[in-house]
Structure formats: structure tokens, C-alpha cells
Amino acid sequence: MVSPADTLLVMIAFGLFVVALIALVVTIVVALNSRKITVSRLQA
């Protein structure tokens, strides 16, 4: 049997993992977009 406290800890850990993953993806997307903007400015 898994105690309610353990279940809560697992949910919190999973939630933090998901938040970290989303933050990582957002950071990568923003970095790629800013790089594209810089390149287009240089070409123009």
C-alpha cells in the first residue's frame, strides 16, 4: 500500500518535473527565435 503522504510527494515531484521541462522548452524556443531575428536583421 502507498500512503497518502507518499502519493502527495510523488505528485509534487512530478509537477516540479513538468514545470522544469516546460521552462526548458520555452527557453530553447525563445533562444531559437531570438537567433532567427538576429540572422534576419543581418541579412536585411
With 0.85 as the threshold, say if the pTM is over it. Answer: no
The average confidence (pLDDT) of the chain is: 90
For the chain, how big is the Rg over CA atoms in Å?
Answer: 19
pLDDT at 1: 73
Report, in this order, helix, strand and coil percent for the chain, each rounded to 5: 90, 0, 10
Domain boundaries, the chain: 1-43
**Is residue 17 scored above 80 in pLDDT?**
yes
DSSP 2: -
